[in-house]
C-alpha cells in the first residue's frame, strides 16, 4: 500500500485504487515520472505466517507536462 496526498493505493493489478494505475495517471499528467529509491528495508512480520513488512522511501521526479 502507498498513500499519495491522502489517497491510499494498494496492489499492482487493474483498477482505480491500484498503485500501477496511479503511476500511469501521473505519467499522463506530468509527461514522465522517474522513481529513485533511497532506502529499502524488509523484515519478517510473523513467526508463524509467511509474511514481510517492507518499507521503501525515495523520490518521484516528474518532467514538465507534454505540450
C-alpha cell recorded at residue 28: 499522463
Give the N- to C-terminal CA distance of the chain in Å, as an integer: 32
- Residue in 31, 55, 28 with CA at minimum distance from that of residue 41: 55
CB neighbour list of residue 25: distance below 8 Å, 6 or more residues apart: none
- Give residue limits of the domains in the chain: 2-62
| Each residue's pLDDT tens digit, 12-33 | 766 667 777 887 787 777 777 7
Please state whether the predicted TM-score (pTM) of the whole model is above 0.75. Answer: no
Place of cell 498513500: 3
Helix and strand totals (H; E) in the chain = 1, 4
Mean pLDDT taken over the chain: 81
Q: How confident is the model at residue 50 (pLDDT cuts 50, 70, 90)?
A: very high
Amino acid at each position: 500500500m502507498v498513500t499519495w496526498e491522502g489517497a491510499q493505493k494498494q496492489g499492482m493489478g487493474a483498477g482505480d485504487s491500484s498503485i500501477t494505475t496511479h503511476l500511469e495517471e501521473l505519467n499522463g499528467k506530468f509527461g514522465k515520472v522517474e522513481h529513485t529509491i533511497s532506502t529499502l528495508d524488509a523484515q519478517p512480520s510473523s513467526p508463524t505466517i509467511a509474511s514481510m513488512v517492507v518499507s521503501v522511501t525515495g523520490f518521484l521526479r516528474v518532467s514538465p507536462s507534454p505540450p
